[in-house]
Amino acid sequence: DQQVKQNSPSLSVQEGRISILNCDYTNSMFDYFLWYKKYPAEGPTFLISISSIKDKNEDGRFTVFLNKSAKHLSLHIVPSQPGDSAVYFCAASASNDYKLSFGAGTTVTVRA
């Protein structure tokens, strides 16, 4: 039973526009959330994270929003660039636990 869900398998966006990726979780013990980016033939790499004590974290073009009451987080990429075309995984962890639980991933394609 997946505790982290990404219900959109794919997203296509025009270069320069905003990409919004969504993620839902079911485990109320999760209090730290991450996004990983994965290119073909490479391992996932860390993109951005957010602790449950915050509702927003921004890093350059990437912003993650957390809505704890809805158990929902989203990743905004503004503006989208061709190099952002990749698979994005949402992940979650609980305090004092090593384990990261991952969603199924969303494939983002940025069109020129």
Cβ of 7: how many Cβ atoms within 10 Å?
10
- Specify the amino acid at residue 42: E
The residues, ordered by sequence, that sit 6+ positions from 40 with a Cβ below 8 Å of its Cβ are none
Residue placing its CB nearer to other proteins in the complex, 58 or 97? 97
Positions in the binding site for other proteins (CB under 8 A): 2, 4, 6, 9, 31-32, 34, 36, 41-46, 49, 51-53, 89, 91, 93-105
Shortest Å, Cβ 9 to other proteins? 7
Cβ 24 to other proteins shortest distance, Å = 13
Left if phi > 0, otherwise alpha if psi is -120 to 50, otherwise beta: which for 71?
A: left
Q: Which of 12/95 has CB closer to other proteins?
A: 95
Residue 12: CB minimum distance to other proteins, A = 18
Q: Which CB, 15 or 46, lies closer to other proteins?
A: 46
Is 103:40 a contact under the CB 8 Å cutoff?
no
Tokens representing 38 are 């994965």
Whichever of 85 and 93 has its CB closer to other proteins, that residue is: 93
